[in-house]
Amino acid sequence: MDLEFCWYEVSPFVYTAAGGFFLGRAESALPILSSVLLMTAGGTILFLRRRYALRMRQAEAPSSADRSAVRSTTMRA
């Protein structure tokens, strides 16, 4: 398995988990800010990946007009 592919899949979870871990151990402003930034990066990556996947899934699915045309032709037969 390709190392780049593995890191691509795992990185948002690593960022979020590391941010949560360091946020729990932080005592000053700089570590807290860094932890929040890591967690935000992980969440943003996951959000953008999901949005892209949903957009691609909608592009592959037939439109409602196509489905109704198929239904009307099958009902007539």
Whole-angstrom distance, CA of residue 60 vs CA of residue 52: 12
Closest CA relative to residue 13, chosen from 43, 36, 33, 37 = 43
Q: What is the pLDDT of residues 2-31, one digit of tens each?
A: 999 999 999 999 999 999 999 999 999 999
DSSP H or E stretch at residue 37: helix 29-60
Is residue 77 within 8 Å of 48, Cβ to Cβ?
no
Contacts for 33 with CB less than 8 Å, ≥ 6 apart:
none
Q: What is the pLDDT of residues 48-67, one digit of tens each?
A: 999 999 999 999 887 665 66
Range 35-44 average pLDDT: 97
Q: Which two tokens stand for residue 69?
A: 């045309």
